[in-house]
Amino acid sequence: MVAAAWVWVVVAAVRGLPGVPNLLEARFDVEPEGAPWVTVIVPARDEAANVGECLRTLLDQDYARVRVIAVDDRSNDETGGIMDALAATAPERLRVMHVRELPPGWLGKTHAMAMAARSAIAVDAPEFLLFTDADVMYRRDALRRSVAYAVAGGADHLVTVPTTIIRRWDEAALLGFLQIFGVWGPRPWKVADPKAQRDAVGIGAFNLVRTAVYEAIGGFEAQRMDILEDLTLARRIKGAGLAQRIAFGRGLVSVHWASGVWGIVDVMTKNVFSAFRFHISLVLGACLWVVIFCVAPAGGVVFGPTRVPAAITFAAIGYGYWLFQRTSGISAWNALLAPVSAVVFVFALLRSAVITLWQGGVWWRGTFYSLKELRKNAAPLFGRGGVL
């Protein structure tokens, strides 16, 4: 059953992924029709190591109709100063907002993005808003190609899948597993299908939204305490029957998620329990599923009755790694470490749940958010919608 299930989902990916647009193709190397204005919103807290390069790559875009709003969200380092210095060199294209205090009932990131969006709408009146992160880097033609596809495809919401920068072998091993694990979640080739309500994708590194759509669904004011704000935004847009799109483009948008496997686990500790809307039973169920589908086949290889289906399972997993290698650059050889990475993933799930329950909430970048508030304001959990 496990082997058959893996073959089923990988075959679906083989059939579906070629239909997802690749923005590196020549047909997307054009100016967006109508040349719509885009305002890019970059929230940052203690991102002095990254925010300068992020903003410079945005200011260096070859698409002229781009403005940037950088939000210094109560930083304790030089983030705000770096923003201000860059804004002084390009005052017509970059402006900076400083948050001194966080209002009650808000997460820092959602508050920063909502505040910047209000300013963008009032001052710039752009046709599109792009929500991104302060550690994301952009190739010079990234926005032009993305906006061109969004306009031509009639997208209300576009996700350009970022390329993960890999600096260590253990990062590749865990992120490669998370990538193949994703075939069980939101299906990229179904994102554009309005009937596939379960297949909604949101990625914090690149969420391009029509301004009219953002306003129509209530903006981030409608999800003030949502840790996975990108996922919820995607679900709300697709749930409203609006046009959602996703595209690949290796190297157009790049991000280094975290340093080493333990850095990735630390990031997951903050947000992965919230993906299950803080239900411990769902986390335990997910852990059991991962053990059965991703760890147990490694043991099945050594037993005669299960050797063949276990081999089929690993062949399907390996092919899935190879399939995604073309868009992500993560080597398919990491499939050899899939069972070990699965164990680390289970550890991260349990760690996130235990620490969140033990401390009664989530600490993130110096701010504590109580579990009571997070549960009260959590969006409903349903279907396949997910974060890649």
Instruction: Convert the chain into a string of H (helix), E (strand) and C (coil).
Output: CHHHHHHHHHHHHHHHHHHCCECCCHHHCCCCCCCCCEEEEEEECCCCCCHHHHHHHHHCCCCCCEEEEEEEECCCCCHHHHHHHHHHHCCCCEEEEEECCCCCCCCHHHHHHHHHHHHHHHHCCCCEEEECCCCEEECCCHHHHHHHHHHHCCCCEEEECCEECCCCHHHHHHHHHHHHHHHHCCCHHHCCCCCCCCCCECCCCCEEEEHHHHHHCCHHHHHCCCCCHHHHHHHHHHHCCCCEEEEECCCCEEECCCCHHHHHHHHHHHHHHHHCCCCHHHHHHHHHHHHHHHHHHHHHCCCHHHHHHHHHHHHHHHHHHHHHHHHHCCCHHHHHHHHHHHHHHHHHHHHHHHHHHHHCEEEECCEEEEHHHHHHHCCCCCCCCECC
Burial class (CB in 10 A: 0-12, 13-18, 19+), 241: exposed
Q: How far apart are the C-alpha atoms of 70 and 279, rounded to whole Å? A: 35
Q: How far apart are the C-alpha atoms of 319 and 337, rounded to whole Å? A: 14
- Band (pLDDT 50/70/90 cuts) for residue 182 is confident
Sign of the dihedral through C-alpha 32, 34, 37, 38? negative
- Tokens 């597993």 label which residue? 177
Q: How far apart are the C-alpha atoms of 96 and 85, rounded to whole Å? A: 10
Q: Is the pLDDT of residue 184 over 60?
A: yes
- Band (pLDDT 50/70/90 cuts) for residue 207 is very high
Residues 6+ apart with CB under 8 A from 22: 247, 248, 249, 327
Q: What are phi and psi of 150, to 5 degrees?
A: -60, -45
Exposure on the CB side of residue 77, measured as CA atoms within 13 A = 13
Q: Is the pLDDT of residue 387 over 50?
A: no
Q: What is the mean pLDDT of residues 245-260?
A: 94
Q: What is the mean pLDDT of residues 105-122?
A: 95
Residue type, 190: K
Q: What is the mean pLDDT of residues 28-49?
A: 97
- Tokens 């001052």 label which residue? 123
Position 379 scores a pLDDT of 58
Model pTM above 0.75: yes
- Band (pLDDT 50/70/90 cuts) for residue 99 is very high
- Band (pLDDT 50/70/90 cuts) for residue 372 is confident
Q: What is the mean pLDDT of residues 86-109?
A: 94
- Tokens 């939000």 label which residue? 71
Q: How far apart are the C-alpha atoms of 343 and 174, rounded to whole Å? A: 10
Position 367 scores a pLDDT of 82
Q: What is the mean pLDDT of residues 302-321?
A: 89
- Check if the beta carbon of residue 94 is closer than 8 Å to that of residue 68: yes
Q: Is the pLDDT of residue 342 over 90?
A: yes
Q: What is the mean pLDDT of residues 317-335?
A: 91
Average pLDDT, the chain: 92
Q: What is the pLDDT of residues 124-167, one digit of tens each?
A: 999 999 999 999 999 999 999 999 999 999 999 999 999 999 99
